[in-house]
Amino acid sequence: MKKLIALSSALALGLTVAACDGPKENAAEDAGEQAAEATNASAEAAADAGQITDEQADAMTDKAEDKADAMEEAGEAADKNGTAGPAATTAPAAQ
């Protein structure tokens, strides 16, 4: 639950500084955040059902958030360099 609150806070903060980001960075950030949210929901549901431990759920969420951060950084680089943005995947990570 703490991760969900932290993610929600990060999303709110991200919206306040979105005006500073380029279009590719914004698109990559949005896609990464959606994927991280989906992974977090799946991980929490699996933990609640007793299929995985809370620690495993946290690790899944951390990995998804790291991927979202990397996607955002790649989008920022694409805006600066004028290259194509990162490929986005919104499917949650496999367990």
30-76 pLDDT tens trace: 999 999 999 999 999 999 999 999 999 999 999 999 999 999 999 99
Q: Is residue 15 part of a domain?
A: no
Q: Residue 90: which pLDDT band, with cuts at 50, 70 and 90?
A: very low
pLDDT score at 1 = 65
Specify the number of domains making up the chain: 1
Query: 83 to each of 18, 25, 29, how far by Cα in Å?
Result: 20, 11, 16
Q: Which domain holds residue 64?
A: 23-81
Q: Is residue 69 part of a domain?
A: yes
Q: Is residue 62 part of a domain?
A: yes
Q: Is residue 2 part of a domain?
A: no
Q: Residue 94: which pLDDT band, with cuts at 50, 70 and 90?
A: low
pLDDT score at 75 = 92
Q: Is residue 89 part of a domain?
A: no
Q: Is residue 54 part of a domain?
A: yes
Q: Is residue 11 part of a domain?
A: no
Q: Is residue 27 part of a domain?
A: yes
